Structure 1
Amino acid sequence: MSRVKSGKVTHARHRKVIKQASGYYSARSRNFRTATQAVDKANQYATRDRSVRKRQFRALWIQRINAAVRLFDPAFTYSRLIDGLNKAGIEVDRKVLADLAVHEPEAFNAIAAQARAALV
């Protein structure tokens, strides 16, 4: 039986990993064994951070809403705004509220006024 050489397959696999590691520093972008470890770890981080990204954006939206609501009225807070929105029956998610706070402050202030009126 003849010998099977896997040179093409191995070379292609190595080339694929080295291409994924392009841009890494030093041996991590050139040495196959080190590049494999670096690419595997990068994929672990990428998988984990897809969930973390959602948390970070929600935290950012909340900070922006809180800052805008305090500009509207210094005694009014984020938590009171959310409570007022729920009592007023206004269903606007945090992403949209944060966008309104940044780009359309008049509209945000109108919503905040309705939420404040619902608390009284």
Structure 2
Amino acid sequence: MRATNGSAKKRSRKRLLKKTKGYWGGRGNLYKKAIETYIRAMAYSFRDRKVRKREFRSLWITRINAAVREHGISYSRFIRGLTVAKLDINRKMLAEMAVNDKPAFANLVEMVKGKVGASL
């Protein structure tokens, strides 16, 4: 009796089809289509983990910009003021403050306004 890879092959196919369960049409049931779809899905997920970081940074900047404009200053001047004042706060925390802790953010903006006026 000769040995084959039957059980290993079956296990491999089963594992892949389990991962593609729920995909549209034959993409979840047909092995060849499932492989193609799975490889592409993994490529997209790898790429989009990087894109998510970009999108969040963009969101934080938009929130900070909206909040500082309420206080009569632009985003770029605000960030410049933070640099001049040697305040090292990342954009994620600034956006969080702008949304959830308006009084503290207002204090920060007033402090930065003083520094920006002095440096320009």
Do the structures match in fold with TM over 0.5?
yes
| Secondary structure, aligned partner of 1:90 | coil
Kindly provide the CA deviation profile for residues 39-85 of structure 1, in whole angstroms up to 9, marking residues without a partner as x.
00001111111111111111110000001111222xx1110100011
Q: Are residues 1:96 and 2:80 paired?
A: no
Question: Runs of 5+ in structure 1 lacking a partner?
Answer: none
Aligned counterpart, 1:16 = 15
Match of 2:78 among 71, 81, 93: 81
Using the size of structure 1 for normalisation, the TM-score is 0.93
Aligned counterpart, 1:110 = 107
Aligned counterpart, 1:72 = 71
Aligned length: 117
Aligned counterpart, 1:51 = 50
After the TM superposition, list the runs of 4 or more consecutive aligned residues in structure 1 that deviate by more than 4 angstroms. none
Identical pairs, percent: 37
CA distance in 2, matches of 1:100, 1:23: 40
Using the size of structure 2 for normalisation, the TM-score is 0.93
CA distance in 1, matches of 2:22, 2:6: 26
Amino acid aligned to 1:55: R
Aligned counterpart, 2:36 = 37
